[in-house]
Amino acid sequence: MKTSRRDLLKALGMGTVAGALAPAILTPQPVHASTELTYGGPDLAGWTTVLGDGLYTAAGQDPVHIGDISTEHHGSHTTLHANSAQRGVMAHNLTYQSIQDAAAFDYVHICGYKFRLPYLPTPGAWPHNAQTIEGALMLWDGANTRMDHGMAFQWVLNPWMGSFGEIWAWSGEQGGQWVPSGFLAVDTEWHEVQMVYDHRNQATALRIDGVSFPSVVSQTPKPAWWGNEVAGRFNAEIISLWPGTTATAAPSHLAEVKEWYWNWVSYE
């Protein structure tokens, strides 16, 4: 028997969010609902890697290109690399799973994975240092609104920033911006994120290591060349350290991801 939308939201403890951060508590108990579609795997094999938009090129450097990022699948986990050649650039590895489905908006989407840093970012660290680890759950409505609907988070890892260790949530307001949402101590342990997006009720939930963080519903416009399809997209991302305006070299960044899942829960 399918669980009603009201019962599902109550079980998830999700709050309706529209344009502002609001607490969204995910219960530790399992949700008893009809999962119509389930995807997952031990690593990110089969996902696609592209350059994201978090890019910067120092003076005199060649522009950031696809060769500055790479993704390696090991069976037990995947390693994301950014600024692999340690050039004077900031590179954004955006690795994603996209599922095209005209009915994508007719489901509550529940997804997650485990992630970790295999090193500690510190001022002056070499050969590795970091800007961020990020993740997103988005539904692209290319057929109607031409907007990317969903949610995203960012873990700030630049050791020179006062926000080092903060979790930020993405807001689609005012063209899109990151909003402080909480704190996660920077270490080399495995962490587990869960994201939930319910489009019909305009509700989200974000949980890391069993701790709930304020999350936000975002609607982000995309370029005209984006397609007319309707699709869900689940991202794992890293951005390498900002190099400075005149850098001739900068550290690379890497992070590991494993045990991803993505459940599509039908509305009644």
d(CA 247, CA 169): 29
How many CA atoms are closer than 13 Å to the CA of 112, on its beta-carbon side? 16
State the first-to-last Cα distance of the chain, in angstroms, to the nearest integer.
9
Cβ–Cβ under 8 Å, residues 220 and 148: yes
Query: Band of the pLDDT at 25, cuts 50, 70, 90?
Result: very low
What amino acid occupies position 65? H
Query: Band of the pLDDT at 173, cuts 50, 70, 90?
Result: low
Predicted pLDDT at 169: 95
pLDDT tens for 138-158 read 999 999 999 999 999 999 999
Domain 5-28+49-257 has CATH 3.30.2390: no
pTM of the model: 0.89
What amino acid occupies position 30? P
Query: Band of the pLDDT at 250, cuts 50, 70, 90?
Result: very high
d(CA 147, CA 177): 16
pLDDT tens for 190-237 read 999 999 999 999 999 999 999 999 998 998 888 889 999 999 999 999
Q: Look at residue 59 and tell me whether its pLDDT is greater than 50.
A: yes
Q: Look at residue 77 and tell me whether its pLDDT is greater than 60.
A: yes
Share of the chain above pLDDT 70, in %: 85
Mean pLDDT, the chain, whole residue set: 88
Predicted pLDDT at 4: 44
Query: Band of the pLDDT at 28, cuts 50, 70, 90?
Result: very low
Q: Which residue has the tokens 């920077």?
A: 186
Predicted pLDDT at 177: 86
Give yes or no for a cis peptide into 127 (omega within 30° of 0): yes
Extract the runs of DSSP E, i.e. beta strands, from 74-200.
78-82, 89-90, 92-100, 107-116, 132-141, 147-156, 166-171, 177-183, 191-198
Find the angle CA(163)-CA(164)-CA(170) to the nearest 5 degrees. Answer: 60
Predicted pLDDT at 116: 98
Tokens of 34: 């009809």
Share of the chain above pLDDT 90, in %: 79
d(CA 79, CA 69): 11
Sketch the domain layout of the chain as residue ranges: 5-28+49-257
Q: What DSSP line would sit under 208-257, residue for residue? A: ETTEEE-B--EEEE--TTS-S-EEEEEEEEEEPPP--TT-SB--BEEEEE
Q: Cβ neighbours of residue 208 under 8 Å, at least 6 residues apart?
A: 153, 167, 184, 191, 192, 193, 194
Q: Cβ neighbours of residue 46 under 8 Å, at least 6 residues apart?
A: 97
Q: Look at residue 31 and tell me whether its pLDDT is greater than 90.
A: no
* Residue 1 or residue 112, greater confidence: 112
* Residue 253 or residue 29, greater confidence: 253
d(CA 69, CA 86): 11
d(CA 48, CA 36): 24
Question: What is the enclosing helix (H) or strand (E) of 48?
Answer: strand 48-51
d(CA 213, CA 168): 9
Q: Look at residue 175 and tell me whether its pLDDT is greater than 80.
A: no
Mean pLDDT of 178-198: 97
Q: Which residue has the tokens 């699709």?
A: 231
